[in-house]
Chain A
Amino acid sequence: MKRIWKKLGIILSLLLVAIGLAGCGNKAVNKSNVYQHVKKTNTIIWGVRNDTPLFGLVDPKTGTLRGFEIDLAKALTKEILGPTGKCKLFQASAKTKIPVLKNGNIDVLLATCTITPDRAKVVDFSKPYFGAGQSLLVPKTSSLHSIKQLNKPGTKVLAVKGTTAIANIQKVAPKAKLLEYDDYGQCFSALKSGQGVAMSTDNGILAGIAANNPQYHVVGGSFTTEPYGIAVDKGQHQMRDEINKAFAKLKANGTYDRLLKKWFADVPGFNYKEVEK
């Protein structure tokens, strides 16, 4: 028995050391200037989505990322660093997108990230580049047509971990039960196998899924406004200002409009003029 206590003691002390180290790690956030760093390496590492149709999705045939945000990241890189600038893409899930930005794995986050007061406490946002709104995706056979109908005990609504959809559903339909998944693919699979009555997230993302799955459609209009912003780590004001400048240029020269049209003009039931910023 004595030996067991001794061993337990060792394990506990090791654990305390680990906690202590983690604590230090938190404080030692990289304070260097991201803009100077990307200028020097002539490369910007963008955190983008890999599971979101129309925004950022891995094309299974070629293995490359395709989507509106991927094109936008490439265009912004050229504006910020000039024509020789390199654009590196890092695949971030909804759950990990803020942590990888805070840890410095990526320089900039361009990944369907809604500007919220809570997030603005930990990262700095650019001006919004996409005016999404939250909606519902249901099978065409479903009688659901409004978010209000979800406000019943036992109604299961599916969402993705780390998205703003969760807090919004809790606000609008507090009685509904939320099930959270790791990415949009898993969440939609769960909807398909009847684990819940509706899947909820931003309309642009849902429209992208519905475009490839004609048995499903987007209902309920947008019951929130979800402006997407480009995020940099807290305090990286120079990087944020450069992004805002580059984005204004893309808007002025028509690139932004062209990209929006390229990805969203043909999506059924989706008016790309509504999301334009």
Chain B
Amino acid sequence: MWQLFTQNWQAFLTGFWHTILSSIIALIFSFILGSGFAILETNPNKFWRGVAKVYVEIFRNIPLLVVTMFFYLVLPKVLPAMSGFTAGTIGLTLYTSAFIAETVRSGLQSVGTGQMEGCLANGLSYWQAMKNVILPQALKITIPPLGNQFVNLIKNSSVLAFVAGMDLMYQGDVIASNTFQTIPTYIIVGIFYLILTLPLSYYMQYLEKKLA
């Protein structure tokens, strides 16, 4: 197995790099999008609540692969074709953002309504109250489930393999089918995923202890 790695280390590292890059981009944007939609979901305005609800329900209930295939195969009929990496990362971002929105929403709702009323009574605007009082408390509560979502995001990035996104899983497939050493190849791929996800899980546990 070591020999398999030394012979194909460039491919494995290319894949590792693409997985990291895609995960980081998707993590940042899905967190922003997800928090945004969570705020909309708890908004007093009925219209915005409806918009957020539709978005979350659509992307939460369609398989990630279908979302990705849509961007990869269907959208090029009207727009210029995008690479597998781009399509996969967009799919991953939208899909994860729906789950993050639900997570953050439950956090926001667990902060008592009295706090928002208190803020408003003291002359803060809705957005000021959200930014300074509600959101910081809500995010603290959502850290453990958010950590799960981030770990899921990294694992789900393997969807890039289906659209030739050059990620770890794609490179693993290519190496396995060229060397016929299927089992060792996927063990190496698995180790690479652990290198990414284990520290993240432990960091999240550490944050949870520190902030709680």
Minimal Cβ-Cβ distance residue in B for A103? B182
Asked whether A94 lies within 8 Å of B194 as measured between CB atoms, the reply is no
Residues B132-188 near A (CB distance < 8 A): 162-164, 170, 173-174, 176-178, 180, 182-184, 187
Asked whether A161 lies within 8 Å of B177 as measured between CB atoms, the reply is yes
Cβ–Cβ < 8 Å partners of A23 in chain B: 1
Contact with B along A61-76 (1 / 0, CB 8 A): 0000000000000000
Asked whether A161 lies within 8 Å of B174 as measured between CB atoms, the reply is yes
Asked whether A95 lies within 8 Å of B173 as measured between CB atoms, the reply is yes
Minimal Cβ-Cβ distance residue in A for B87? A195
Asked whether A22 lies within 8 Å of B187 as measured between CB atoms, the reply is yes
Asked whether B187 lies within 8 Å of A180 as measured between CB atoms, the reply is no
CB distance from B115 to the nearest CB of A (A): 34
Option from B81, B183, B194, B205 in Cβ contact (under 8 Å) with A193: B81
Interface stretch, picked from B20-28, B40-48, B70-78, is B70-78
Asked whether B170 lies within 8 Å of A180 as measured between CB atoms, the reply is yes
Cβ–Cβ < 8 Å partners of B191 in chain A: 15
- The residue in B80, B170, B173, B177 that gathers the most chain A C-beta atoms within 10 A of its C-beta is B177
Asked whether B164 lies within 8 Å of A26 as measured between CB atoms, the reply is no
CB distance from A239 to the nearest CB of B (A): 19
Asked whether A15 lies within 8 Å of B194 as measured between CB atoms, the reply is yes
- Given A193-B72, A193-B76, does the pair A11, B180 have CB atoms closer than 8 Å? no
Cβ–Cβ < 8 Å partners of A18 in chain B: 187
Asked whether B81 lies within 8 Å of A11 as measured between CB atoms, the reply is no
CB distance from A197 to the nearest CB of B (A): 11
Asked whether B180 lies within 8 Å of A180 as measured between CB atoms, the reply is no
Minimal Cβ-Cβ distance residue in B for A1? B206
Option from A4, A26, A95, A99 in Cβ contact (under 8 Å) with B202: A4
Interface: B84 (CB within 8 A): yes
Cβ–Cβ < 8 Å partners of A190 in chain B: 72-73, 163-164
CB distance from B33 to the nearest CB of A (A): 25
Binding site of B, secondary structure by majority: helix, strand, loop or mixed? helix
Interface: A186 (CB within 8 A): yes
Asked whether B194 lies within 8 Å of A179 as measured between CB atoms, the reply is no
- Cα–Cα, bound, A232→B76 (Å): 42
Interface size bucket, B side?
A: 20 to 34
Residues A185-240 near B (CB distance < 8 A): 186, 189-190, 192-195
Interface: A104 (CB within 8 A): no
Asked whether A182 lies within 8 Å of B174 as measured between CB atoms, the reply is no
- Given A26-B183, A193-B76, does the pair A94, B177 have CB atoms closer than 8 Å? yes
Cβ–Cβ < 8 Å partners of A25 in chain B: 183
- Given A182-B162, A194-B76, A195-B81, does the pair A162, B177 have CB atoms closer than 8 Å? yes
Asked whether A22 lies within 8 Å of B76 as measured between CB atoms, the reply is no
Minimal Cβ-Cβ distance residue in B for A189? B73
Contact with A along B50-94 (1 / 0, CB 8 A): 000000000000000000000011101100110110000000000
Minimal Cβ-Cβ distance residue in A for B76? A193
CB distance from A13 to the nearest CB of B (A): 13
- The residue in A4, A182, A194, A195 that gathers the most chain B C-beta atoms within 10 A of its C-beta is A195
Cβ–Cβ < 8 Å partners of B120 in chain A: none
- The residue in B77, B170, B180 that gathers the most chain A C-beta atoms within 10 A of its C-beta is B180
Interface: A19 (CB within 8 A): yes
- Cα–Cα, bound, A18→B191 (Å): 11
Asked whether B76 lies within 8 Å of A195 as measured between CB atoms, the reply is yes
Cβ–Cβ < 8 Å partners of B162 in chain A: 181-182, 186
Chain A interface (Cβ within 8 Å of chain B)?
4, 7-8, 11, 15, 18-19, 22-23, 25-26, 94-95, 98-99, 102, 119, 122, 161-162, 166-167, 179-182, 186, 189-190, 192-195
Given contacts A22-B183, A193-B74, 8 further A-B contacts (CB under 8 A): A4-B205, A11-B194, A26-B183, A94-B177, A122-B180, A180-B173, A190-B164, A193-B72
Q: What are 26 contact pairs spanning A and B, CB under 8 A?
A: A4-B205, A4-B206, A7-B202, A8-B198, A11-B194, A11-B198, A15-B191, A15-B194, A18-B187, A23-B1, A26-B183, A94-B177, A95-B177, A99-B176, A99-B180, A102-B182, A161-B173, A179-B164, A180-B173, A181-B164, A190-B163, A190-B164, A193-B76, A194-B76, A195-B76, A195-B84
